Amino acid sequence: MSRLVRRIPEGDDRERLVCPDCNYVAYENPKIVVGSVIAEGDRVLLCRRAIAPREGFWTIPAGYMELGETVIEGAQREAWEEARARIAIDGLLAIYSLARISQVQVIFHARWAELGFEAGPETLEVRQFDWNEIPWNEIAFPSVRWALEAWHASRKNPLLSVALNPSEDWRGVSPLPHGEDG
């Protein structure tokens, strides 16, 4: 296989990585980050990062989605990996588009499915904070601040009603029956 080159493919409007021999286009797409604000009453769970970037700074449990998982499964996995927390998702809190770093972040409201938490392998420390105790000068990323502020603003209001996959195909794996146009 030839080395990919950057050029504008025929019929497109932006540079892409293209094979000069067969014209295969290797699309580069944004990364999807999933996470959750895990709250109990007026307290939220934060994790002190043990990895770069922003090692030593506080964040919510969040990270990149894996292939083959739903956004909810990803948020639950990240809560387990970073905080050894078993969570239940209550609803969608925020969606952030970070074009500068080509990320889309899907952040959920969550609560404990089982009590207990401890630092996972990517975390130095895990703590619950009251709103006025949050170490704002040590927050890892702007979107963590935004998510915490969104949680605080919405904590006494009903959660946004969001359409999710139907219960009969909650993982999105069933094709349309033959002959249906959708």
Largest pairwise CA distance in the chain: 60
Would 55 be classed as within a structural domain?
yes
Would 147 be classed as within a structural domain?
yes
What's the pLDDT score for residue 141? 94
Query: In 4-86, at which residue ranges do the beta strands (DSSP E only) sit?
Result: 5-7, 16-18, 25-26, 31-40, 43-49, 58-59, 62-64
Range of the domain at 50: 31-154
**pLDDT tens string for the chain (182 positions)?**
579 999 999 999 999 999 999 999 999 999 999 999 999 989 999 999 999 999 999 999 999 999 999 999 999 999 999 999 999 999 999 899 998 899 999 999 999 999 999 999 999 999 999 999 999 999 999 999 999 998 998 877 756 656 556 678 777 777 767 665 54
Structural domains counted in the chain: 1
Would 60 be classed as within a structural domain?
yes
pTM, whole model, 2 decimals?
A: 0.84
What's the pLDDT score for residue 167? 78
Would 173 be classed as within a structural domain?
no
Would 54 be classed as within a structural domain?
yes
What's the pLDDT score for residue 168? 80
What's the pLDDT score for residue 162? 60
Which CATH number fits the domain that encloses residue 142?
A: 3.90.79.10
Half-sphere exposure of residue 23, counting CA atoms within 13 Å on the CB side? 5
Would 23 be classed as within a structural domain?
no
Would 102 be classed as within a structural domain?
yes
Would 16 be classed as within a structural domain?
no
